[in-house]
Structure 1
Amino acid sequence: MKAMRPLLLAIIAVVLAAIGWLTTVLTTRYSMATPVLPPSALITMGFIAVLTLIMGIRVLRWRNGKKKTMLNPILAARTLILAQACAYAGAVLLGWHVGIVIEQLRLWSFRSDQGILWLALIMGGGGLIMAIVGLVVERFCRIPPEDLEGGPGVRDPRRGEAKGEGEYAYRGD
């Protein structure tokens, strides 16, 4: 599985900011409700971020050798997938709500109720936190290159040389 690229997450956020801005312009023009998530979504976003972080810490503790029992590989794979999903969802939520904030700032002086702007700012912050947690937990799930082949200094019986000396995770044998 390939590692996520922060640049891709930034591109997703920018594209969704443009879509969120355009949607907000259209809903304002036709006197419809602003398309912002309700405050109860913060609870869900927080729960997902905390769950991802807890699962990531379990994988990190095992990777650093603090656990004596073997880690279930399915749990590790699910943690990685959850971390990536959390980062992508966070980028989408961040971008969408940044687009709403941009449009609402334009209307700041015309509105008597500023609640939508503050709610969109808080939701965008929640999306940013989700993206950061996803990226951090994905880093927790990485195995150091020396662990891929049994560690440095381990003798390779086929070659009679120590593994890890000048070798990388990919060998072109």
Structure 2
Amino acid sequence: MNSLRPLWVFTVLVIGVVAGYALQILATTRGYPVPVLHWTSLVSMGAACLITLVMGIRIKLYTSGRTKKRVDPIAAARTLVLAQASVYAGSIIAGWHGGILLGLLTAAGLGSEAVKSSLVMIGGALVMVIVGWVVEQFCKLPPEDPSDPAAKTEGEDEEGYAAGTN
């Protein structure tokens, strides 16, 4: 499995900014409300972050040797995929609301409800990105000592992830 590439994450963020800005301008010029997520979306985002973090901590405890309870390889792979999905979802949400914020700051100022909601959603999205990035790092196995003849590389893929742990 490939690790996250900061350039791809940044590209997703920029696409979100452009799309959010364009649709905000289009919606407001046609008389529609600003397309922002409501604050209650933070509950879902928080639950996703909490689940990702709990699953990541289980993997980290196993890879650091603090627990002998074996981790299912499929669960490890799913944890990694969930962590990466959290980073991309957080990036697109932050970009979308960042684009909306760009369009609204000149027109509405800081007192608008849509501006406040955008700021809150950007903060929540950044938490998602950070949690996903940290959990992805939890899923990497520590490097083996290359001078140790008993060191074995089975159970890790070419990038050192624990998804194939036996």
CA apart distance, 1:68: 1.4
**What is the DSSP-based 3-state SS (H/G/I as helix, E as strand, rest coil) of the residue aligned with 2:144?**
helix
Match of 2:137 in 1: 139
Name the aligned partner's letter for residue 95 of structure 2: G
> Which of 142, 149, 157 is residue 154 of structure 1 equivalent to?
149
Output the CA distance in 2 between the equivalents of 1:48 and 1:32. 30
Are residue 116 (structure 1) and residue 111 (structure 2) matched? no
Q: Does structure 1 retain, via aligned residues, the 8 Å contact 2:63–2:141?
A: yes
Higher relative contact order (CA 8 A, sep 6+): 2
Output the CA distance in 2 between the equivalents of 1:152 and 1:74. 30
CA apart distance, 1:124: 1.1
Output the CA distance in 1 between the equivalents of 2:40 and 2:152. 53
Q: Which of structure 1's runs of 4+ aligned residues deviate more than 6 A? A: none
Match of 1:80 in 2: 80
Name the aligned partner's letter for residue 121 of structure 2: M
Match of 2:16 in 1: 16
**What is the DSSP-based 3-state SS (H/G/I as helix, E as strand, rest coil) of the residue aligned with 2:120?**
helix
Output the CA distance in 2 between the equivalents of 1:47 and 1:13. 22
Output the CA distance in 2 between the equivalents of 1:135 and 1:3. 10
Structure 2: unaligned runs, 5 residues or longer: 160-166
TM-score (norm 1): 0.83
**What is the DSSP-based 3-state SS (H/G/I as helix, E as strand, rest coil) of the residue aligned with 2:38?**
coil
CA apart distance, 1:154: 2.5
CA apart distance, 1:152: 4.5
Structure 1: unaligned runs, 5 residues or longer: 156-161
CA RMSD of aligned residues (A): 2.1
The change in CA–CA distance for 1:163 and 1:134 in structure 2 (over 3 A counts) is closer
The change in CA–CA distance for 1:163 and 1:74 in structure 2 (over 3 A counts) is closer
Counting aligned pairs with the same residue, the percent is: 40
TM-score (norm 2): 0.86
